Chains A and B, each alone.
Chain A
Amino acid sequence: DGGITQSPKYLFRKEGQNVTLSCEQNLNHDAMYWYRQDPGQGLRLIYYSQIVNDFQKGDIAEGYSVSREKKESFPLTVTSAQKNPTAFYLCASRESAENYGYTFGSGTRLTVV
């Protein structure tokens, strides 16, 4: 079955550590996105990529980094520069500009301990 796989589902990070969240899709979608969701709020865009080897900052990119070396993969690194990283992180993809629906992964819940 086609879809988006995010791992891990739960992640605990110590202060000062970098952690990487995985996002893999087998939908052959061109565009991929990382969102952050805090309790009771909507989704905020961290980074997005419309083609391989290219990505753009979203609204809250500070303290995060991404790469898009393969069409299927769009990992997100939460660096120690992100002062408040505890949140629910969602990866999404979209087939093309003409396709309005986004497909989401099941999310990674990151907690700083």
Chain B
Amino acid sequence: GQSLEQPSEVTAVEGAIVQINCTYQTSGFYGLSWYQQHDGGAPTFLSYNALDGLEETGRFSSFLSRSDSYGYLLLQELQMKDSASYFCADMDSNYQLIWGAGTKLIIKP
């Protein structure tokens, strides 16, 4: 089977940096995706890591270590609009996504 574990909630301060971790156990792993979802809204694609290392896109970066079955999403210069749930998802051999339960990011002024 496949499963992804991420913290249920993370709290940070506006302007700070926060890291959301994701560990996975999968029978066939092709890459780790990250999505953002605001309350009541649709998930939006943030990033995808197929290879080890760091991928940077503006204020957001995503990291993958296949040997450790671990990845994280790093958000810098936090803004109030970043308050949302963040999901990691594993891409399997059929390009289907297996989703983690999501991490709710709470940002305080």
Contacts and interface: CB of A to CB of B under 8 A. Distances in A.
Interface residues of B, number: 23
Given A100-B33, A100-B91, A40 B44 contact: no
Interface string A43-74: 11100100000000010000000000000000
Interface stretch (A11-19, A79-87, A104-112): A104-112
Interface string B87-99: 1010100011101
Chain A contact-residue range equals: 20 to 34
A100 B48 contact: yes
A2 interface: no
Main secondary structure of the interface of A (DSSP, over half): loop
A106 B40 CA distance: 8
Nearest to A97: B95
Interface of A: 31, 40-45, 48, 58, 90, 94, 97, 100-107
